[in-house]
Amino acid sequence: MIVITGAVGFIGSCLLSKLNSEGITDILLVDDFSFENKNKNISNKKFTKTIDRSDFLSWFKNNSSSVSFVYHIGARTDTTEFNVDLFNTLNLNYTKSIWKLCTENNIPLVYASSAATYGLGEFGYDDDEEKIPLLKPLNPYGDSKNDFDNWAIVQSEAPTKWIGFKFFNVYGPNEFHKARMASVIFHSYNQIQDNACVKLFRSHNPKYTDGGQLRDFIYVKDLVDVLYFTYTNNLNNGIYNLGSGKARTFLDLATATFKALNKSVNIEYVDTPIDIRDKYQYFTEANMSKLVHQGYNKPFTSLEDGVTDYVTNYLNGHRYF
């Protein structure tokens, strides 16, 4: 049985869909199932059973022999949350518990880290584990992910197979429930539908034009393809970047969204709020060579093609993947 934590969320539910497409249905879903809007992400998908995240660790201790692989995708991901204790409980300590159980029972573990660990990118965006202790995330969410990465790389006892992926800016279907934490493409789509206009932050850095701020946007279908690759292939244990490997501007993103809707480009630039201006990332780009050297050679979807697929096949008609 494969375990997916965070299974009714954006990425977890897309991973479930990917596994189903590969004929895999013996899957345990772990999450908080009290939000009906999120539960729509797993409608019509195949799995063995569900279990609440608060009950999972005790279940895992008693049923480890039935588990063959763990995808730990679940986490508190709100970058505007500043309750450190909450992040320590849900992100850091919960993940340590899963790690220890996987170690004791020789169960492979793939877990979600985050590009938020890179902070302003002072040390670049290379997934060099020697640099992890130097990184300076910008918020408690990033700290919680970096804290676990730092913990993981020094453990003398570890799962026989373990991979941590630093997710970059993921977008795609099954994020209807995410509200303000949904992707910029999701918000751009709704702004265009409501006002025929997209609002982007004005640049406050002379090195970048308005809308010229750069991010590594990765389509969620590409991301779950990589996650499945770790199930079917033996990678060296460690922490890897998971982005497209190509930074694109927010202007590119907005333009692609207008084009997918067959509408004229209409962009309004607004000031970046003062309270986040000094922490605003102007550039992120994943160095993907480490994963490529492990044999992953499938091309990543271009921003234009990803946006077109997302808008045409999912946002239009409110459909799920």
Which tokens is 215 given? Answer: 């991010």
Report yes or no: 127 and 166 within 8 Å, Cβ to Cβ: yes
Which positions are catalytic? 141, 178
Annotate 115-157 with DSSP letters as a single string. Answer: GGGGTT-TT-S---GGGGGG---SSHHHHHHHHHHHHHTT-SS
Q: How many CB atoms lie within 10 A of CB 310?
A: 27
Helices (H), the chain: 10-21, 36-39, 53-63, 84-87, 94-104, 140-152, 184-195, 220-232, 250-260, 274-277, 289-293, 303-310
Provide the sign of the torsion angle of the four alpha carbons 216, 219, 223, 225, taken in this order.
Answer: negative
* Longest distance between any two alpha carbons in the chain, whole Å: 58
* Separation between Cα atoms, residue 213 and residue 20, nearest integer Å: 37
Report yes or no: 47 and 16 within 8 Å, Cβ to Cβ: yes
The Cβ-side half-sphere exposure at 264, using a 13 Å CA radius, reads 1
Vertex 141 angle, CA 281 and 137, to 5°: 45
